[in-house]
Amino acid sequence: MIKLFEKSVYCVGGVPLTDGVSLADANHAAGTGIESQQLNETLRDGTMAWKILRAHNKSGQDGYLNIRFDALASHDITYVGIIQTARVSGLTEFTMPYALTCCHNSLCAVGGTINEDDHVFGLSAAQKYGGIFVPPHQAVIHQYIREQMAGCGKMILGSDSHTRYGALGCMGVGEGGPELVKQLLSRTWDAPRPEVVGIFLTGAPRPGVGPQDVAIALVGATFGSGFVKNRIMEFFGPGVSNLSVDYRMGIDVMTTETTCLSSIWQTDGKVREYYRIHGREQEYSDIAPDAAVMYDRLITVDLSGVVPMIALPFHPSNAFPIQEVIDNAGDVFERLEGEAKSLYLESGVGIDYRSMITDKGIRIQQGIIAGCSGGTYENIEIASSMLDGRTIGSDEFTLSVYPASQPIYSALLKSGAASKLLDAGAVIKTAFCGPCFGAGDVPRNGALSIRHTTRNFPNREGSKPGQGQLAAVALMDARSIAATAANGGLLTPADQVYVPDTTPAYTFNQKIYDNRLYRGVGRPEAGVELKLGPNIKDWPQMIAMPDDLLIATASVICDEVTTTDELIPSGETSSYRSNPVGLAEFTLSRKDPGYVPYAKRIAEQERLRRAGEPLSDEGLHRALEAFGIDQADNVSFGTFVYANKPGDGSAREQAASCQKVLGGWANIAKDYATKRYRSNCVNWGMLPLTLAPGTSLELSRGDFVYLRGIKKALEEGCDEIDAKLLRNGRVSELKLYLPGITPEERKILLAGCLMNYYRV
């Protein structure tokens, strides 16, 4: 079904040269006449990805990219901080189309007036600086970009990790807010030239197999090994034509969960028709790999071999065929209980998954079809047809459906799909991303929710283990969720029931946007005052890198991978994302409740040091004595987090900025899960330190690391950092590393953060 080829692979005439296919045979079939000696690494330039990157690259060199994007996109968890950062960095107007959508903090009852204050701020910012404002409930961020801003050959940067528009021939990149600030200030997004992984699709999906099934299978096959990490996934092959555009988009948006950098697909008449339906046919162009091309790696996917899949808690890569889970429910759920116990050991809570096994099957408590992955027209139409004339029942199971945009909702009303869902007992709600991160449809304690959304990380559903509340999410396709709903909440793969082959033609209603959205691109109104609610606060002052750093271990995380949701929880905390100091109180709150008080304790000692007052912390006094540091030296006190591989998941910058607000100066890790999290650390002035490959540290809260001469090391371009460690009263030498730090990143770290760098 899915095969991975780790070495570079040539593709001639659309045929990958694997499994014994000879160059001569491929040349003969393709009629290219390419000689073997010409098939060298320069054929990397023939990928779709590279042609788009090269068109946007301002560096003048192929090995290192300085990219200017065509447009930007942010939602209401991120746009306030981005604009506040840009303001103090010299922003006068948006330098490119920038869409501000209100799809994450749409529930205005949470936090009092806070969320709606942010929305009004967004509107005033779009007016003042010349942007696009999408009010609450109109569209989730990525569906709006698909419908109104994507274009073949374009590149769009979004402050959301699921910024993926490759199925429309448009490369999307998800990054933290400071990277969007750079674009607003006419700077560039900088990165080494990424490798490109070819995804060769053949065959056609079986009845009942949807895009989420293919996506879960891909994530399961690639995530653990990092096969596509920070690389670009390029989809091509005869199987592409067997997929609708909605189907392609459903796979594409989930590529984020593989930790890839971006994605791109070959285009065809179906993509042209998508643009035509949305009144933007001029945005279409043919995009395909060259006749001869080299991929750095290759994945082959036989679509006909994919079966209905489920990603069990607590990660999208925890992938299994649904039927396999049903057949081995006892063993599978016993293992899940063990994973939950390990995750929530300190909280002392768990889930009794085996109690969900009945003589009739596995009983599920909740189903959700929503967001940029699940809420597409085709997914909901098919689900409604599967539930036509049936009922979800009057027991515990519930089903909520969130169309991804009001135009989709309008089409579902016209086709009759909405009525079918309502008749069956489902609830239809407006465009909202909340179910994907725990701000909507939080299940009851002990429940298992099946969702066609993007993630199922621990606590993404909104439970609070520290308060004895724990639920979990499994990811499934809308088709199998509908099959389960029609079966009264008993887990059912869609290939066991009737699934319609076609859906009614989609008609897009442009009036919905024309009558409600603010569009001010190219028309900034400098006289407009930003409307600042009481929770919208400026970033606190951050100092430049001192000569030396004395940093205390504030948290030790031993999990193999740490998600951004664990670094700064989602859900109810989103109401405070416009208040840096208020939000920082939630840092690591579900993973390590002791982090915040200890970080604040060390931060208070730094305040005393700068004020010339006596220090009060005994541990810090011992560290000063052990390292021979005088309080009058140009040394700053701070904290760091030690983790194996932090940063999987969301692009939101707060996963790093909250640590900085609390006095964080660094992370020490074996590796970083994603480029976007590492970039967030740098942009907020935190050293992304690593250990030597294959090594680890035994640390506890209160151990100290002394980085003597860190400022000089950054100035001189050092990649190796000599440090000292104080643990259990003993001082030892420690070698740390800053791999891949660019000259500009060094300047940002020396300035203390990106804002300071731009102020200079």
Distance CA 720, CA 713 (A): 8
Return the pLDDT at 33: 60
Q: So what's the pLDDT on residue 327?
A: 93
289 and 339 part of one domain: no
Strand, coil or helix: what is 452? strand
Q: Which amino acid is at 697?
A: L
What's the confidence (pLDDT) of residue 28? 60
Question: 386, exposed or middle or buried, with CB in 10 Å at 0-12, 13-18, 19+?
Answer: buried
As a whole number of angstroms, the distance between CA 208 and CA 319 comes to 17
3-class DSSP assignment, residue 438: coil
Burial class (CB in 10 A: 0-12, 13-18, 19+), 700: exposed
| CATH (domain of 256) | 3.40.1060.10
Residues 242 and 198 in one domain: yes
- Residue 49 pLDDT > 70, yes or no? yes
Confidence of residue 494 (pLDDT cuts 50, 70, 90): very high
- Work out how many domains the chain is built from and give that number: 4
What average pLDDT does the structure give for the chain? 91
Q: Which helix (H) or strand (E) holds 672?
A: none
Instruction: Give residue 755's pLDDT.
Output: 86
- Taking 3-state DSSP, the helix, strand and coil percentages for the chain, each rounded to the nearest 5, stand at 35, 20, 45
pLDDT given for residue 499 in this prediction: 87
Coil vs helix vs strand at 341: helix
Q: Does the residue 397 lie in any domain? A: yes
Nearest to 539 by CA among 748, 756, 750: 756
Reported as a single tens digit per residue, the pLDDT across 574-608 is 677 788 888 899 898 878 889 999 999 999 999 99
**Residues facing 732 on adjacent strands:** 725
Could you tell me what percent of the chain has a pLDDT over 90?
69
Q: Which two tokens stand for residue 391?
A: 């009922």
465 vs 181, which has greater pLDDT?
A: 181
How confident is residue 572, by pLDDT bands cut at 50, 70 and 90?
Answer: low
> Which among 604, 599, 607, 605 has a CA at the least distance from the CA of 662?
599
Instruction: Please say whether the beta carbons of 373 and 250 come within 8 A.
Output: yes
pLDDT of residue 701: 94
**Higher per-residue confidence, 600 vs 647:** 600
Whole-number pLDDT of residue 115: 86
Containing 503, the helix (H) or strand (E) segment is none
The pLDDT confidence band at residue 36, using thresholds 50, 70 and 90, is: low
Q: pLDDT-derived band of residue 37, with 50, 70 and 90 as boundaries?
A: low
The label of the residue with tokens 């079904």 reads 1
Per the DSSP assignment, residues forming a β-bridge with 553 are 640
* Interval 552-579 mean pLDDT: 82
Residue 608 to residue 627: CA distance in whole angstroms = 19
**pLDDT, position 630:** 78
Domain boundary among 174, 190, 206: 190
Both 617 and 582 in a single domain?
yes
Residues 262-303 have pLDDT tens digits of 999 999 999 999 999 999 999 999 999 998 898 999 999 999
Residue-range definition of the domain harbouring residue 133: 67-190
The pLDDT confidence band at residue 527, using thresholds 50, 70 and 90, is very high
359/387 same-domain check? yes
**182 & 150 share domain:** yes
Give the domain CATH number at 616: 3.20.19.10
720-727 vs 704-707, strand pairing mode? antiparallel
Q: Once rounded to an integer, what is the mean pLDDT over residues 167-186?
A: 95
pLDDT in tens, 135-174: 999 999 999 999 999 999 999 999 999 999 999 999 999 9
pLDDT at 311: 97
Half-sphere exposure of 70 (CA within 13 A, CB side): 18
With bands split at pLDDT 50, 70 and 90, how would you rate the model's confidence at 31?
Answer: low
Distance CA 49, CA 690 (A): 30
Query: DSSP letters of 305-332?
Result: G---EEE-TT-TT-EEEHHHHHHTHHHH
- Pick the last residue of a domain from 142, 162, 190: 190
Instruction: Let me know if residue 97 belongs to a domain.
Output: yes
* Range in 346-360, 565-579, 647-661 with the lowest mean pLDDT: 565-579
- 701/727 Cα distance (integer angstroms): 10
Contact between 203 and 303 (Cβ < 8 Å): yes
Residues 736 and 663 occupy one common structural domain: yes
In a shared domain, residues 480 and 351: yes
The answer to which of 26-40, 248-262, 636-650, 720-734 has the lowest mean pLDDT is 26-40
552 shares its domain with 647: yes
Same structural domain, 252 and 137: no
**Nearest C-alpha neighbor of 380 from the set 462, 459, 482:** 482
Task: Over range 716-734, report the average pLDDT.
Answer: 93
Q: What is the DSSP letter of 165?
A: B
CATH number of the domain that 175 lies in? 3.30.499.10
What is the pLDDT, as a whole number, of residue 467?
Answer: 81
Which helix (H) or strand (E) is 552 found in, with range? strand 548-557
Terminal Cα-to-Cα distance of the chain (whole angstroms): 54
* pLDDT tens-digit map of 83-121: 999 998 889 999 999 999 999 888 766 667 888 889 999
Q: What are phi and psi of 201, to 5 degrees?
A: -100, 130
337 domain residue, yes or no: yes
Poorest-confidence range of 68-82, 117-131, 448-462? Answer: 448-462
**Is 41 found in the same domain as 75?**
no
pLDDT on residue 26: 54
Tell me whether residue 140 is in a domain.
yes
Is position 504 within any domain?
no
Q: How many helices and strands in the chain, by DSSP H and E?
A: 26, 34
Q: Is residue 513 part of a domain?
A: no
Domain limit, last residue, from 145, 160, 190? 190
Query: How far apart, in Å, are the Cα atoms of 446 and each of 356, 359, 463, 688?
Result: 10, 20, 10, 37
Mean per-residue pLDDT, 536-559: 91
Please indicate, yes or no, whether residues 111 and 164 belong to a single structural domain of this protein: yes
Domain presence at residue 716? yes
Q: Is residue 503 part of a domain?
A: no
**Whether residues 55 and 74 fall in one domain:** no
pLDDT at 468: 83
